[in-house]
Amino acid sequence: MKLTSLGEKYSDLSEGPADGKDVEYFPSLYLNEKQIEALGIDNARVGTDMTLIATVRLSSLSESKGGSRSMSFEITEAAIGPKEAATDAASVLFPNG
C-alpha cells in the first residue's frame, strides 16, 4: 500500500472554473461536531496538512458503458493527527516499527 495524491486539475474536466484551469482539487470529507470531538481535532486551521489513517468499506461500485468507473467508500474507523515527516506507507501504518 502506498500513499498516492488524488489531486486533479480543473483542466482535466470538460467544465470547470474559467480562471482556475491549473488549480488542483481533491476529494473532500465532511465531519460533524461529534466526529471532530471523537477524533480529538483541536485548534485546526484551514490549509493545515494532517495525516488520516482509515478503515473503509466499499459501499458502491459503478461502471458506465463508456468504461468510466467510480467507487464510494464508508469510513468505518479513522485516526487523524499532525502530518509527520515520514511519508512512506509503512511508517504511517506502523509508527512503532
Q: Please report whether residue 24 resides in a domain.
A: no
Query: Bridge partners of 60?
Result: 72
Q: Please report whether residue 7 resides in a domain.
A: no
Q: Which set of grid coordinates corresponds to residue 61?
A: 461500485
Q: Please report whether residue 17 resides in a domain.
A: no
Q: Please report whether residue 82 resides in a domain.
A: yes
User: What is the number of structural domains in the chain?
Assistant: 1
Choose among 3, 78, 67: nearest CA to 36: 78
Q: Please report whether residue 5 resides in a domain.
A: no
Predicted pLDDT of residue 63: 94
Q: Please report whether residue 81 resides in a domain.
A: yes
φ and ψ at 33, to 5 degrees?
Answer: -55, -45
Q: Please report whether residue 20 resides in a domain.
A: no
The pLDDT tens digits of the residues spanning 21-79 come to 677 888 889 999 999 999 998 888 898 899 999 999 999 999 999 888 999 999 999 99
Residue in this structure with the C-alpha cell 509503512, named with its chain if needed: 90
Could you tell me the residue range of the domain that residue 38 belongs to? Answer: 31-93
Q: Please report whether residue 12 resides in a domain.
A: no
Q: What is the pTM of this model?
A: 0.64
Q: Which 3 state secondary structure label does DSSP give 63?
A: strand
3-state DSSP: the chain helix, strand, coil percent, rounded to 5? 15, 35, 50
DSSP H or E segment with residue 71: strand 69-82
Task: Return the higher-pLDDT residue of 16 and 81.
Answer: 81
